[in-house]
Structure 1
């Protein structure tokens, strides 16, 4: 049962790590550059729209393609009505269809460069022509989200390539103001941490799969299934082969579950990343986790339609052979959904809220499937091990109920994300911790046999293991108690990232910065203060729903040497990229992207997320940059750095560079 205790603790931290905003750098792709021109041929004007395409990328033809293919390029002319007549359709170069490895079909596409032309005839006096192109580009591995690029094409070319859509001089000025021209950024190479984060997610998925093995839907299936393969085969070798194939197919089935999310990720790389800060989705995840918890408590079962499992079972029996084994594995996945579904839901909710997106989900699903598959292969290879398995019984239901309490605790993390981003003030830090204390006490009372649920067996004296777990749970609740106070002990370092930040409190705080530090929430204000005081800047790109940001603040920044550096030597500017609070109407504007398309800057988060991407080619949090008052980079920007000594050395290096440059 020691494994059970460790497994439950691992599940407790499953969403903790997987919901963290990952600290790898994210590359921003702009693979197409557009330009326009217009020429007169008698009474006809020819509008030319040219695309220069980066190497390796494909821009697709205007031709319609079969279902499952890319979105065709499309041109429109918004001010044509009453001003000019669009003659015929937009022309494109001749070409042939080539095999596209992304969509696995023959499609007409363009590489390097292509020019589209459109003949028009003015009805009255010639005027500027508004045009807009809607297009999608892919390389051999990914597709970018379809986007629109607008143009205004004048007869003399004076305003060619000017974006359309009510763009005012103020919009242009505010767009230019976001570019602060950081000096020296090109001297530092970006770090790639994707591999390590993927391995972390795989490991956590594997732990989740091991815990799923201990549920009533899966555990009893192990000896039954292994016995079926080893005894029902013609010889032991065949039985071993069949059992190993069965395990392999379980692994493959869970791996395949992540494929639809890759399709979403390819259409819009930000879809999955935005889940962590999307208020509606976080509330939905909160509701889903509560439903999962009620299911684990035994009030109802989450099951897929029985007809599905019956049909899969019939297929397995009628087909036989390798295909039959596959359908047997699929039947297990369907039948065990009531137990594995909530755990998979935790994995889904966690993986899709990180920058790794669909790839991390694939690693997580792979780890989960591998953990479920291993017992069937190992017990087939070593059948004597079956005798060492504990017998099925009430302890399996205990596992489910314990998981239910954990699901309730995790559910409030998602609700907290929404609350922080929207500043509702519903789940201040002390309220959140109070809810967790209640959940922990409820779990302890259940383990002691005081609280009971529908599927519990006859009441009897709790086993020593349950009593031990109950005592540990009460100790955990006692650990949480200082978090309700307004003292130095309220910083619960072991849980950094889960509760709301220390300054999001029911108590009055001197500042709204982490750990009582003075933090500017506006870059210009912080920059002005840095110039007045002649201090360097610690630029902190953070987020209300960013778990790793809270861990840095509460575990690393709280170290005395680090805290003193930030408080005394730097001007701290914390920019929240997920803040959904709307800017004042006078501060909202349409940001003009380098490719000519527009992005509405409506919220505080819109502004600072665009600011980070534009100036630092990065959109992950936390992300730390050291600058002087002239916007010179003092050293290499860093992301999540849990080693306090390393982060303190990084701050000291930046301060040293600042002092040397100031001489």
Structure 2
């Protein structure tokens, strides 16, 4: 699995556990919005800009305005009240938003972190007046796994100077109106055409990188651990391992005292770390955060990285060698013959250069994998890599007597290099896959991607068993236990991926593979998992023409109707507070609900009601009501569901799971985003047991 797809795994689970205790009964505060007009002293008839700025809480992001409104997430939209004091010109625009490809939605979205800025064009038709409107938007967090929909009331008084040249009011051609509501409706936007020069931000495995002031991004820990392991792997390559005896011979007899020997050894190690870290710093300084975003998903750099990884793989497999000019290496090596600290530094520099043909592809992989992250990421990645790389050389420089315990160089070193070549070959196709998904080329669908990786890992297994021979391989008289275990692991990975050719979700690789929706052929394997509760009410299921529950679960979309069904079925009522634009709701459905044991319980033991908090279906006027929580009229199904969640359960984030008895009392504490399958099963089982106990 690639560095990029694994970097957020470690450490985050602890964060989620700690956060979950505070998220069960908590109203997340909305961003703080400010509004102003530019220019500050406008004239009547002049086009002005209404500027809306949001201070977004740390760890959260707000979606923008310029992506497909049918994609899933809720676009930030502005509805201006009808007024004769102004007319709207154009649509609400985002200013300086970031972009990323979200695999869950199979499309590109725009978003803001820390601060969001939006502009709305207006033409003033009176010298004084009030700009009034309603701003709707969605705020999400990759740290807590929550998404929240908000509505902000915009009220701004203005004064304008009379303009004698204006003889008529702005024409209706500049105005977008809604005849039904009497509002200037800026919500129904067209999708903006893609700018070929626009930046595109990280696609991955990954989810949005949240920049948090005063805290450390937990994903960096996983990335640093993997970079450290890459440094250890680099030690076992044929260009590096033989350098250890050379290091020992260089330091033997140079120091007159033991203290001096220890000092020289540590200076040597620090020099290695400094050389690699400086390289990471240079990359960080050159790329910058916006350039890094462009690197991550634009077709040009991804195809370039794909080509580079193919070259690296072929070099590791033995087709050719990647070397630096010998004249340059010889000049640096001559410097190392000088005494003192300068000589030690150039000895470290010589090690870095001589080992470049083996470490270059690994170092390049780390730098490429850090392209979509923060500026600090390549620096920390190179520091971690060089730390692992330098520790053995430092220890052998300080304790040269340890040399006798090292295994002898031999063909096993080339085998390590070849294994790395196979892995580089597999990773190369991830970059091609990212470009393919972003630009919808359709050349590397999930089926083809899986076939390539199955073949690569089968070939790796056969190589480790000695059935495939490559250049520079030594005769293999027998297979050692470590090599046997690695061969078996490679074949197990290949076999694990085979069911994916028929549509199996392969959840352990879900962040690495192309989305399941790109699968050309699949068999729905969820229908046989449990028997879903049938619709037991002799009445139509409300809103079933608009909404559905995944994986064949038959449920309801209206709370009162769901409660009525639960009473008739004599089962607990499971409320799923969800949303069309909730990324982590989809992750729960794909990674947790799809588990056979979870799915069986959901179908057999509960009556489910899915309450979509961002559903814009407008209810009949007789069903409108004014919320006691915020005093606003709730007209749509989504707003009423959101108001119910807030007022009843003091929570406004999704996903959020609540299980009630027939008297509408909690059976267990509600549960938010957590992809632990055993924990979710325990949540369901405890609720069922408590329900049976009460009855």
Assess if the C-alpha contact under 8 Å between 2:53 and 2:115 holds in 1.
no
Give the C-alpha shift of residue 228 in structure 1: 0.9
Q: Partner residue of 1:209? A: 231
Identify the residue that residue 234 of structure 1 maps to in structure 2.
256
Q: Distance in 2 between matches of 1:512 and 1:281?
A: 39
Residues 142-541 of structure 1 aligned to structure 2 (within 5 Å): 169=176, 194-263=216-285, 268=290, 271-272=291-292, 275-317=295-337, 320-353=339-372, 356-457=373-474, 459-465=475-481, 466-485=483-502, 490-507=504-521, 530=557, 536-539=576-579
Q: Is the 8 A contact 2:582 2:654 kept in 1?
A: no
1:621-632 to structure 2, matched below 5 A, reads 628=641, 630=643, 632=645
**460-469 or 333-342, larger mean C-alpha shift:** 460-469
For residues 482-516 of structure 1, the C-alpha deviation after alignment (integer angstroms, 9 at most, x for no partner) is 33335xxx343443433334443222567999x99
Q: Does the CA-based 8 Å contact 1:250-1:330 persist in structure 2?
A: yes
Contact 2:8 / 2:219 at 8 angstroms: preserved in 1?
Answer: no
1:561 equivalenced with 2:617 (yes/no): no
What pairs up with 1:104-123 in 2 under 5 angstroms? none
CA contact (8 A) 2:234 2:358 kept: yes
The 1:192–1:148 alpha-carbon spacing in structure 2 relative to 1, beyond 3 Å, is closer
| SS, match of residue 272 in structure 1 | helix
Asked if 2 retains the 8 angstrom alpha-carbon contact of 1:536 and 1:570, the reply is yes
Distance 1:345 1:429 in 2: 26
Kindly indicate whether the alpha-carbon contact (under 8 Å) linking 2:502 and 2:522 is maintained by their aligned counterparts in 1: no
Q: 1:397-449: CA deviations, max 9, x gaps?
A: 11111111111112222323333344444333333222222112222232233
Contact 1:444 1:474 in 2 (8 A): yes
Q: CA deviation at 1:281?
A: 3.5
Q: Are 1:313 and 1:331, in contact at CA under 8 Å, matched by a contact in 2?
A: yes
1:231 is paired with a residue of what secondary structure?
coil
Given that 2:654 and 2:673 are in contact with CA atoms closer than 8 Å, whether structure 1 keeps it comes out as no
Q: Aligned partners of 1:450 and 1:226: how far apart in 2?
A: 37
- Residue 229 of structure 1 deviates from its aligned partner by 1.8
For normalisation by structure 2, the TM-score amounts to 0.55
Q: How does 1:24-39 map to 2 (within 5 A)?
A: 36-37=38-39
In the alignment, is the contact (CA less than 8 A) between 1:214 and 1:396 conserved in 2?
A: yes
Distance 1:342 1:574 in 2: 48
Matches within 5 A, 1:21-100: 36-37=38-39
For residues 283-312 of structure 1, what are the alpha-carbon distances to aligned partners after superposition, in whole Å with 9 as ceiling and x for unaligned?
Answer: 333222211101111212233444543443
CA distance in structure 1 between the aligned counterparts of 2:314 and 2:322, rounded to whole angstroms: 10
Aligned to 1:67: none
Three-state SS of the structure 1 residue aligned to 2:426 is helix
User: 1:377: Cα distance to partner?
Assistant: 1.9
CA distance in structure 2 between the aligned counterparts of 1:18 and 1:216, rounded to whole angstroms: 28
Q: Indicate how the Cα distance of structure 1 residues 343 and 50 shifts in structure 2: closer, same or farther if over 3 A, else same.
A: closer
CA distance 1:530–1:476, change in 2 (3 Å)? same
SS in 1 for 2:241: coil
The CA distance in 1 between the partners of 2:589 and 2:248, in whole Å, is 47
State the distance in 1 between where 2:347 and 2:298 align: 39
Once residues 291 and 381 of structure 1 are traced to their aligned partners in structure 2, the CA distance between those partners, rounded to angstroms, is 37
CA RMSD of aligned residues (A): 5.6
- CA shift digits 1:583-624 (9 cap, x unpaired): xxxxxxxxxxxxxxxxxxxxxxxxxxxxxxxxxxxxxxxxxx
Q: What's the CA shift string for 1:31-77, capped at 9, x where partnerless?
A: 9987545779xxxxxx9x999999xxxxxxxxxxxxxxxxxxxxxxx
Instruction: Name which structure has the greater RCO, CA cutoff 8 Å, separation 6+.
Output: 1
How far apart, in 2, do the equivalents of 1:626 and 1:498 lie? 35
Structure 2 unaligned segments of length 5 or more: list them: 17-28, 43-47, 56-88, 90-94, 97-112, 132-157, 161-172, 190-211, 533-544, 550-555, 563-574, 615-637, 656-671, 689-695
Indicate how the Cα distance of structure 1 residues 410 and 37 shifts in structure 2: closer, same or farther if over 3 A, else same.
closer
Answer with 204-213 or 231-240: which moved more. Answer: 231-240
Pair 234,156 (structure 1): closer, same or farther in 2 beyond 3 Å: farther
Question: SS of 2:518's equivalent?
Answer: coil
Whole-angstrom distance in 2 between the partners of 1:15 and 1:637: 26
Q: Which SS does the other structure have where 1:349 is aligned?
A: helix
Aligned to 2:676: 643
Deviations 1:162-186 (A, max 9, x none): 9xxx9864799665579xxxxxxxx
Q: Distance in 2 between matches of 1:30 and 1:332?
A: 54
In the alignment, the residues of structure 2 paired with residue 551 and residue 51 of structure 1 have an alpha-carbon distance, to the nearest angstrom, of: 34
Greater fraction of residues in helix: 1
The alpha-carbon distance between structure 1 residues 461 and 642, as it changes in their structure 2 partners (threshold 3 A), is same
Contact kept? 1:146, 1:267, Cα under 8 Å: no
More divergent stretch after superposition (169-178 vs 400-409):
169-178
> TM-score by structure 1 length?
0.57
Aligned CA distance change for structure 1 residues 430 and 225 (closer, same or farther; 3 Å): same
SS of 1:569 mapped into structure 2: strand
Q: CA separation in 2, counterparts of 1:223 and 1:464?
A: 25
